[in-house]
Amino acid sequence: MPLQETVTVQVVRGLADDGASVRLRAAMAAGTTPDPGFVGALVERCAVEPDFQVREMLTWALTRHPASLTVPVLVEEVRSERAQARSQALHTLSKIGDRLAWPAITPRVLADADDEVARSAWRAAVALAPEDEWPELAVALAAQLGRGGREVQLSLSRALVALGEVIEPALRAAAADHDPRVRTHAAATELLLRDPDAGFEFAIEEAKRAVALGVE
C-alpha cells in the first residue's frame, strides 16, 4: 500500500475513534495535509461528532480542501434528516464562503424548526448572499423575529444588523405585528442597527419599555 494511501486510511480511522483527542488529531492531520480521500469522512463525522472542539477542527479541515470538492457534498448535507448534519454543513459553508452555495439557503432552511440549524443558516445566509439578494433575505430573516430565547434572538439580530440599512422596511413591518414578542425583538434589532455597541440585553429592555408604552 503506497505511503499516502496508508496515511489516508489512518486519518479516516482516527476520525471514527472512540477517543475525542484521537479524533481531534485526525481532523488536524486531515487539514494539515489535505487529500480528496478525507472529504467524505470529514463530512460524515460532522453529522455525529459530539465534541465541540473536534467539530470546529473538522470544519477547519474542510476549509483547507478545494471548494469544488467540499461545497457540493455540504450542500447535500443541508438537506439531511439529521439536525446536526444540517447545522454543521451550514456552519462550514459559511466558513468556506463560496457563493455557489447560496441557492442552498432557501426560506425553508432559514426557518428550520431546529434552533441550532436556523442559527447556522442565518449566519451562512449573511456570509453567502449576493448584495442584490439582501432585501429579500432581510424579509425572510425578519419573519423569524420573536423566535426562541435570548441566544436565538441575539443570533437573528446580529444576522439582520450585518445586512445594514436594507433591513429597515422589514423591521418597520415587524413593528406592527400583533405579537408583542415580535415587536419587541424588532425594536431591539433596530436599536442595535443604530448603535451596535449598545448590547443586546440593553436593547431588549429598552424595546420592552417602548412596546409597553406603545411608542415603538
The predicted-structure confidence for 198-208, as pLDDT tens digits, reads as follows: 777 766 777 67
Q: Which domain holds residue 209?
A: 133-216
Are the C-beta atoms of residues 116 and 83 closer than 8 Å to each other? Answer: yes
Whether the predicted pLDDT of 4 surpasses 60: no
Percent of the residues in the chain that have a pLDDT greater than 90, as a whole number: 85
Whether the predicted pLDDT of 216 surpasses 50: no
pTM of structure: 0.89
Mean of the pLDDT values across residues 188-215?
A: 74
| 96 in any annotated domain | no
| 42 in any annotated domain | no
Whether the predicted pLDDT of 143 surpasses 60: yes
Whether the predicted pLDDT of 153 surpasses 50: yes
Number of domains in the chain: 1
pLDDT at 213: 57
| 144 in any annotated domain | yes
Query: Could you tell me where the DSSP H helices lie in 47-179?
Result: 52-63, 67-77, 83-96, 107-110, 115-128, 134-142, 150-163, 168-174
Q: Residue 211's pLDDT band (boundaries 50, 70, 90)? A: low
